[in-house]
Amino acid sequence: MRALLWVVAVVAGVLVLLGLLLEAVRWLIIIGVIALAAVIILSFVKGRQSAHNYPNRR
């Protein structure tokens, strides 16, 4: 009976840690997508600004 309780406790602990890890990974993916979008938008804006500053370079 004690062994069964240990197994249940270990499995529950692993499931809790796995859930926390997956939640953290999900938030990291969301933050990464937001950062990637920000970089793309900023590079587009900077490119447009440099094209306006040097119109003869095209």
Sequence-distant (≥ 6) Cβ neighbours of residue 51 within 8 angstroms? 57, 58
pTM of the complete model = 0.61
Identify which has the larger pLDDT, 23 or 53: 23
Q: At 5, is the secondary structure helix, strand, or coil?
A: helix
- Residue ranges per domain, the chain? 22-52
Q: What is the mean pLDDT of residues 13-39?
A: 93
Confidence at residue 10, expressed as pLDDT on a 0 to 100 scale: 93
Asked whether residue 36 carries a pLDDT value surpassing 90, the answer given is yes
